[in-house]
């Protein structure tokens, strides 16, 4: 799947209660889109440089053809020196062509490899980070809601229940009757909250609670008080479990931070690859300069061959004139 910088900047997420800071997410996406756009720009520049190299190779081929024609003409009127120069020039041209093609193929291969590697890593990192954000946001919202709601209800209810149970166990019979009546009234008023807490805890794998009967007898009330004390302890244990779960989420957040650090290391690796690409381009330019030097040497050899040809023609002409002079004397 190809992702453009504009799609990254315009990416939206579902809003959840107490989710991540929207501005931080947008800032991260903006930074990622800018880096992506910069990478695309560098890839375009590499393609332009490759096209320039291909044009230069085409020019070298044209020079090769021109040189070949010149050497072919000189071969018809020259001697062994021109023939040897022609062979050497052809060999040098082929070597230059081979070197140029090898450089271009190597540069194309490395550029393609870097591009594919960068696209795959960017896609993997983006998908992984988005998935982690969704999981953390979902888990954090659920646990935060449970933590805030349940702990406040648990604390209030457990304190009231403990106080009622303490008064029932230590008070006089008159106080017991009054405490029982008050407890019944209190239980009637707290019954919806208790039912909600029990349903939540039951859904989480806790104790299956039975409904409280406000019209029960004194013995039954004491039994209920005992059960309520057990429930209070169970609630405290559940609160401890929730705290441990929150700590686990904190550890997951730290793991996410480590992944962000790994992402930074990957970016640094990409920078090193870019530097390597720049080094390859520099080497390519040096090889082009070497090809130009070889071409210059070929031109110089060609010029020397022409000079030797002219010198030989001039010598033959002088010898012919000397022969005519002696013939006239005879």
Q: 244 or 193: which carries more pLDDT confidence?
A: 244
Count of domains observed in the chain: 1
Q: Is residue 47 part of a domain?
A: no
Q: What is the reported pTM?
A: 0.26
Tell me the per-residue pLDDT of 52-85, one tens digit each, with 9 for 90 and over: 888 888 888 888 888 777 777 666 666 565 666 6
- What distance in Å separates the CA atoms of residue 29 and residue 16, rounded to the nearest whole number? 18
Percent of residues, the chain, with pLDDT higher than 70:
53
pLDDT-derived band at 326 (thresholds 50, 70, 90) equals very low
What distance in Å separates the CA atoms of residue 20 and residue 136, rounded to the nearest whole number?
9
What is the average pLDDT value for the chain, to the nearest integer?
69
Above 50 in pLDDT, residue 216?
A: no
Residue 266 vs residue 136, higher pLDDT = 266
> Which pLDDT value is given to residue 131?
77
Looking at the domain assignment, is residue 167 inside a domain?
no
Residue of 252 and 329 predicted with greater confidence: 252
Label residue 45 by pLDDT band (50, 70, 90).
Answer: very high
Structural domain contains residue 208: no
Average pLDDT rounded to a whole number, residues 199-216:
45
**Would 242 be classed as within a structural domain?**
yes
Residue 163 lies in a domain: no
Average pLDDT of the residues in 219-224: 58
- Please write down the long-range contacts of 311-314, taking CB distance under 8 Å and 24 or more positions apart: 312/79
Q: Is residue 112 part of a domain?
A: no
Q: Judge whether 306 lies within some domain.
A: no
Interval 138-145 mean pLDDT: 70
Say if CB 275 and CB 48 are below 8 A apart: no
108-139 residue pLDDT tens: 777 677 667 767 776 777 777 777 767 767 76
Instruction: Tell me, yes or no, whether 262 lies in a domain.
Output: yes
Measure the CA–CA gap between 119 and 36, rounded to whole angstroms: 9
Which domain, by its residues, includes 263?
236-272
HEC string of 167-204?
HHHHCCHHHHHHHHHHHHHHHHHHHHHHHHHHHHHHHC
Task: Convert the pLDDT of each residue in 152-190 to its tens digit.
Answer: 776 676 677 667 656 655 654 455 556 556 655 655 554
């Amino acid at each position: 799947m190809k992702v453009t910088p504009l799609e990254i900047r315009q990416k939206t997420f579902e809003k959840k209660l107490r989710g991540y800071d929207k501005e931080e997410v947008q800032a991260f996406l903006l930074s990622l889109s800018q880096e992506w756009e910069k990478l695309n720009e560098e890839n375009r520049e590499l393609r332009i440089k490759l096209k320039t190299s291909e044009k230069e190779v085409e020019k070298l081929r044209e020079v090769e053809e021109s040189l070949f024609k010149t050497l072919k003409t000189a071969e018809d009127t020259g001697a062994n020196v021109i023939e040897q120069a022609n062979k050497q020039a052809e060999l040098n041209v082929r070597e230059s062509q081979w070197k140029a093609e090898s450089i271009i193929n190597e540069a194309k291969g490395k550029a393609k490899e870097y591009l594919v590697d960068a696209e795959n890593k960017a896609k993997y990192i983006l998908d992984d980070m988005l998935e982690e954000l969704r999981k953390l946001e979902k888990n954090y919202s659920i646990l935060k809601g449970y933590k805030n709601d349940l702990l406040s209800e648990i604390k209030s209810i457990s304190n009231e229940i403990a106080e009622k149970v303490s008064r029932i166990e230590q008070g006089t019979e008159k106080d017991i009757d009054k405490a029982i009546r008050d407890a019944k009234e209190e239980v009637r008023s707290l019954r919806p909250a208790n039912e909600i807490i029990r349903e939540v805890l039951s859904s989480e794998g806790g104790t299956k609670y039975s409904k409280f009967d406000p019209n029960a007898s004194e013995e039954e009330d004491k039994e209920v008080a005992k059960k309520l004390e057990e429930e209070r302890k169970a609630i405290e244990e559940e609160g401890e479990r929730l705290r441990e779960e929150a700590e686990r989420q904190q550890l997951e957040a730290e793991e996410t931070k480590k992944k962000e650090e790994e992402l930074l290391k990957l970016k640094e690796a990409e920078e090193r690859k870019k530097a390597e690409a720049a080094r390859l381009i520099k080497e390519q330019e040096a090889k082009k300069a070497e090809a130009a030097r070889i071409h210059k040497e070929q031109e110089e050899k060609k010029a020397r061959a022409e000079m030797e040809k002219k010198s030989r023609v001039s010598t033959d002409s002088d010898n012919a004139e000397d022969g005519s002079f002696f013939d006239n004397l005879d």
